[in-house]
Chains A and B, each alone.
Chain A
Amino acid sequence: MVSTNRLGLTILFGLAVFVFWRIRYPFALTYQEQFQLFLFDGDYFTERIAEPGGLARYVGEFLVQFYNSPALGAFILAVLFMLVQRLTWRLMRSKEHYCLSFLPAVFLWYVLGDESVLLTYVVALVIALAVCWGFAKLFLGWGYEHKMLLRRLYIMIWLIPLLYWAIGPMVILTAFILMPVSVIYAIVVMLLSAHYLPYPMTRVMTGICYYRSPEILPTMLMVIPIITILVSNFVRLLPKANRIVSIVEASVMLIIILCIFHGFGYDAKKYELMEYDQLVRIKDWKGIIAKAEKQTPDLPMSVCANNLALAMTNLLGERAFDFYQRGSEGLLPPFERNFSTIQLTGEVYFYLGLVNTAQRLAFEAMEAIPNYNKSGRMMKRLAETNLINGEYDVARKYLQMLDKTIFYRPWAQQALAMLDDETLIDAHPVYGTLRQFRLEDDFLFSEDELDKICGQLFMHNQKNQMATQYLVMAPLLDGDAQRFINYVTYVQSKVNYNPRYVREAIAKIRTTR
């Protein structure tokens, strides 16, 4: 009965994790997925396995590709979290205080609020705990005679380096739980390996592939193994669990979980941007506007996403000032060397018809991924821009890579069929249109002259509604009346464009004069 209750509690916990990711933060999962391109390919596996932690990384990246479907992603996370909890419970030397076995998993939940923590870390933790559990059972049967101790030692001599190579520095957790003295051996192995690896010592010691950015030392990642060790080894020192103790433990756990839900670990602004980014990715323009209507976006990238959505629905001139604005930078944010901002800005350039610039930003975004991964989303965009530009050999290269994935494969196969077929591409609703929008007179891109570039786009093709809207609204958002009047006069001499805020601005400027 007690055991059923315990299992029930674990399942409830798993359900909470599932609901959290599936309902509250599904966009965080798709956000994670775009930082990798998992290939079903021998070289992909050997590249990963060539470094310590490579097996955990391979498994982690294999699982993350399923984040493309948030339900699957949430399920995977729920299973992993339950495994962490159950394995911790199995390793606890006292079979009291079941609630405390949730501590490492709960902290893990908190830690995953940092979007740079990779699933590799979670997989490494699960493998480390599973190995501990397996070998602890084995060692327990052996007793403590001299011969058996030697046998244990012999196993540890082999196990530590192998496990280190498979899961990285998380091996220290296994070493400590199985044979505390072997931690020294594990550290020596890690130090030695650093001499032969193309990474700085600190990176090797803290994990090459646990955290996306190599320049940051994630201290919280070191806390979880310590908590696991404390829970597994020292819970027996606590007083036996009576009803009051159990209530206290459960309450602590609840408070920690509530803290997570209330955003201590999950930066609301950051996650809001992720949601905007996801909505842009799936071209849910109405969804973006609806979200902005609930809470007006104020960050540069969320303003940019909302303006893009307004332009894509031809509403920029009608509704731009219904929302908080950040000048013309809210239309086309300046270049920054980080994946998220580059790729969102690249989306704007793509729909404007600046295919070369969109291609550059897609390339830059992929290169900006701190752990040197490639990105499925960006690879797809690169294939598209090369397809539009008629660079079929380059497009083929990217499409053949995407063809080796689960989620991008159907699209890649459709696109492969379009290669070298000008008629098919010209007839494509997006690619064909963008081909017509592309500029034909060359000049060098300048961020300082974006309105002029929009002007060139408009003059080249007056059906380019997005360029029309950006050209007219850019000076208006900057509060530059003269420039606005010049542009709107020219635009209105060519096309019928007179939305609400344009009308109001013209009237106000005339009244003022």
Chain B
Amino acid sequence: MRKLSWYFCALVCWASCTQRVENPVPLDDFPTIYPDYIGVTIPAEIAPLNFNITAADIDMVDIVVHGSKGGDLHAQGDFADFDVKDWHELTAKNKGGELTFTVCVIQDGQWKQYKDFKVYVSPYALDEWGLTYRRIAPGYEVYSKMGLYQRDLSTFDEYAIIENTQVPGMCVNCHTTCQTDPSKFVFHVRGGHGATMFQTDGQREWLKAKNDLLGGAMVYPYWHPSGEYCAFSTNQTRQGFHMVKDERVEVFDLSSDVFVYHPATHEILTDSLLQTKDWSENCPVFSPDGHTLYYMTCLQQDYPERYKDEKYNLCKIAFDPETGKFGNQVDTLFNAVAMGKSLTWPRPSYDGKYLMFTLMDYGYFSIWHNESDQWLLDLQTGEAREMKEINSDKADSYHNWNVNSHWIVFTSRRDDGLYSRLYLACIDDKGQLSKPFLLPQRNPSEYYSKSLYSFNTPDFTKTKVDFDAYEAGIEIASDKRIDTKVK
């Protein structure tokens, strides 16, 4: 009885706080909302697409969402804030259908109704628990608080994997899982306690940050699909700083080579074709069948003077996972240099159909290049096209595929030109992309306007990453490291 009374009181309170939309004046325009979710395609598993109305002098917003396959959802308040459970019920019911959003606002004491807009619920499952990424201020050389984080994509919950507060002076970067499976996880620690961390099925190993025979540190990892190998490059990276407005940072490599690491034996597998004298080999990735290693190459330049001539092509070489041997021929897969451009961050889809990369005017650190755009290479036909559906006039950069290759995540600076944020988009069976949508947050406008962080190197993760940051911190500070051997 007491419980019933409580529910009754709650209902009365809710009813008294909710205003009825009466005689709204119809408007001819779509609402201006942040983030721009109008016409986007979402996975049914995604967190509610909460949004803010950006028009001035709005006293209240009322949203009714109607599913084409049934179900309704209502929210009212300062912004569109949907109940997580109700939202998932609605999207699950409307998988492959569409959601129609009716938005009314009180402006100047009068209810006004915008034109309805639609959001499409994709038939493709997400098949992932969430995302992993690095959060760091978009700075230059010095870094403040930063870390590796993971985000449950069905809610707004974010968890730290490891933060640099754990070991003073530490920086962490380049975290990578094996085809989104975090039971095989690698990242680098930079700073006084540098190392490369390998965690395989809960067992951690800390490798020496540098191998003298390689001439540098392990950089840009990518797991072999078997989990038996991990490809890296080793780079002599330098930074430069532009003098004119609209440009900030330039990153270039005095040299770089590609190699493959074998965690079981701590051996490094090299090949003269991947360590040429006059060319920089960089950013290696394995094909989903594990028999090809894609990477990019650039004719070394005189840096920093000729930094604008640093331009990369996409190449490939055969790899035999049984023997750990490389093929004896390198093929150019995409000649960006012939276009007067430079290619970076090759990422093959896990279904073997495509390879996504970023194209820019020069260099490879696309995050600092406004002109950088996403491109898609069809590995069957060899044809590449600009992914105009998802590109913007600001830097669209680092990307990754989900495990069923129907979803991509990438970073973009389209919001303000400096702070990188995460966008997701759907790719259908014909290779057509949907309009990308910004990673949802509880109160998006407040969250993103307050955040002083960029989201870097995003990737999907099948399950929550299980990582003991406290023990890892002790291990990092201990400086106990395993030597790697060059085979």
Contacts A195-B470, A445-B240 given; indicate if A368 touches B142 (C-beta within 8 A). Answer: yes
Q: A372 touching B244 by the CB < 8 A rule?
A: no
Q: B165 touching A445 by the CB < 8 A rule?
A: no
Question: In angstroms, how far is the closest chain A Cβ from the Cβ of B194?
Answer: 16
Q: Please measure, in the bound complex, the distance between the C-alpha atom of A96 and the C-alpha atom of B269, giving whole angstroms.
A: 78
Q: B243 touching A439 by the CB < 8 A rule?
A: yes
Please pick, from B143, B166, B241, B416, the residue contacting A397 in the complex, using a CB distance under 8 A.
B416
Q: Which of A443-479 contact B (CB under 8 A)?
A: 443-446, 453
Question: In angstroms, how far is the closest chain A Cβ from the Cβ of B169?
Answer: 7
Contacts A393-B416, A393-B417 given; indicate if A367 touches B166 (C-beta within 8 A). Answer: no
Please pick, from B144, B165, B168, B242, the residue contacting A356 in the complex, using a CB distance under 8 A.
B242
Q: A200 touching B168 by the CB < 8 A rule?
A: yes
A205 at interface, CB cutoff 8 A: no
Q: B165 — which chain A residues lie within 8 A by C-beta?
A: 198-199, 214, 372
The contact string, 1 if C-beta is below 8 Å from chain B, for chain A 247-284, is 00000000000000000000000000000000000000
Q: A442 touching B242 by the CB < 8 A rule?
A: yes
Contacts A363-B139, A367-B143 given; indicate if A199 touches B166 (C-beta within 8 A). Answer: yes
Chain A's interface: helix, strand, loop or mixed, by majority? Answer: loop
Q: B142 touching A215 by the CB < 8 A rule?
A: no
Q: B245 touching A390 by the CB < 8 A rule?
A: yes
Contacts A43-B450, A337-B142, A391-B417 given; indicate if A198 touches B243 (C-beta within 8 A). Answer: no
B156 at interface, CB cutoff 8 A: no
A160 at interface, CB cutoff 8 A: no
Q: Please measure, in the bound complex, the distance between the C-alpha atom of A369 and the C-alpha atom of B139, giving whole angstroms.
A: 13
Q: A393 — which chain B residues lie within 8 A by C-beta?
A: 415-418
Contacts A354-B243, A397-B449, A441-B244 given; indicate if A360 touches B140 (C-beta within 8 A). Answer: yes
Chain B residue at smallest Cβ distance from A390: B245
Q: B145 — which chain A residues lie within 8 A by C-beta?
A: 372
Chain B residue at smallest Cβ distance from A404: B450
Contacts A198-B166, A200-B473, A391-B418 given; indicate if A444 touches B243 (C-beta within 8 A). Answer: yes
Chain B residue at smallest Cβ distance from A335: B141
Q: Please measure, in the bound complex, the distance between the C-alpha atom of A397 and the C-alpha atom of B137, giving whole angstroms.
A: 14
Q: A366 — which chain B residues lie within 8 A by C-beta?
A: 144
Q: Which of B278-321 contact A (CB under 8 A)?
A: 304, 307
Q: Which of A344-403 contact B (CB under 8 A)?
A: 354-357, 360, 363-364, 366-369, 372, 374, 389-391, 393-394, 396-397, 400-401
A: number of interface residues (CB 8 Å): 45
Q: Please measure, in the bound complex, the distance between the C-alpha atom of A390 and the C-alpha atom of B474, giving whole angstroms.
A: 46
Please pick, from B243, B415, B474, the residue contacting A357 in the complex, using a CB distance under 8 A.
B243
Q: Which of B235-254 contact A (CB under 8 A)?
A: 240-248, 250
Q: B162 — which chain A residues lie within 8 A by C-beta?
A: 198
Q: B449 touching A442 by the CB < 8 A rule?
A: no
A483 at interface, CB cutoff 8 A: no
Q: Which of A43-60 contact B (CB under 8 A)?
A: 43
Q: B245 — which chain A residues lie within 8 A by C-beta?
A: 355-356, 389-391, 438
Please pick, from B142, B247, B416, the residue contacting A364 in the complex, using a CB distance under 8 A.
B142
Say which size band chain B's interface belongs to: 35 or more
The contact string, 1 if C-beta is below 8 Å from chain A, for chain B 152-173, is 0000000010110111110000
Q: Please measure, in the bound complex, the distance between the C-alpha atom of A391 and the C-alpha atom of B245, giving whole angstroms.
A: 9
A194 at interface, CB cutoff 8 A: yes
Chain B residue at smallest Cβ distance from A43: B450
Q: Which of A385-439 contact B (CB under 8 A)?
A: 389-391, 393-394, 396-397, 400-401, 438-439
Q: B469 — which chain A residues lie within 8 A by C-beta?
A: 198
Most buried by A among B163, B167, B244, B245: B245
Most buried by A among B143, B144, B145, B243: B243
Contacts A214-B168, A394-B416, A400-B449 given; indicate if A445 touches B140 (C-beta within 8 A). Answer: no
Q: B140 — which chain A residues lie within 8 A by C-beta?
A: 360, 363-364
Q: A196 — which chain B residues lie within 8 A by C-beta?
A: 470
Q: Please measure, in the bound complex, the distance between the C-alpha atom of A196 and the C-alpha atom of B147, giving whole angstroms.
A: 16
Chain A residue at smallest Cβ distance from B308: A442
Q: B143 — which chain A residues lie within 8 A by C-beta?
A: 367
Q: B243 touching A356 by the CB < 8 A rule?
A: yes
Q: B142 touching A367 by the CB < 8 A rule?
A: yes
B452 at interface, CB cutoff 8 A: yes
Question: In angstroms, how far is the closest chain A Cβ from the Cβ of B79?
Answer: 15
Q: A198 touching B418 by the CB < 8 A rule?
A: no
A440 at interface, CB cutoff 8 A: yes
B427 at interface, CB cutoff 8 A: no
Q: A445 touching B163 by the CB < 8 A rule?
A: no
B273 at interface, CB cutoff 8 A: no
Chain B residue at smallest Cβ distance from A392: B416
Question: In angstroms, how far is the closest chain A Cβ from the Cβ of B237?
Answer: 14
Q: B307 touching A356 by the CB < 8 A rule?
A: no
The contact string, 1 if C-beta is below 8 Å from chain A, for chain B 451-487, is 0100000000000000001100110010000000000
Q: B416 — which chain A residues lie within 8 A by C-beta?
A: 391, 393-394, 396-397
Contacts A367-B142, A367-B143, A394-B416 given; indicate if A356 touches B160 (C-beta within 8 A). Answer: no
Please pick, from B137, B139, B243, B415, the residue contacting A445 in the complex, using a CB distance under 8 A.
B243
* Other 4 A-B pairs with CB < 8 A, given A41-B450, A198-B160, A355-B245: A198-B473, A215-B168, A442-B243, A444-B250
| Interfacial residues, chain B to chain A (CB-CB below 8 A) | 137, 139-145, 147, 160, 162-163, 165-169, 240-248, 250, 304, 307, 415-419, 449-450, 452, 469-470, 473-474, 477
A-B contact pairs, 30 of them (CB 8 A): A41-B450, A198-B162, A199-B165, A200-B166, A200-B473, A203-B168, A337-B142, A355-B245, A356-B244, A356-B245, A360-B248, A363-B139, A364-B139, A364-B141, A364-B142, A367-B142, A367-B144, A372-B145, A374-B452, A389-B245, A391-B416, A393-B416, A393-B418, A394-B417, A397-B416, A441-B243, A441-B244, A442-B242, A444-B241, A444-B250
State the 6 A-B residue pairs at the shortest beta-carbon distance, nearest first. A444-B240, A393-B416, A372-B145, A389-B245, A367-B142, A214-B168
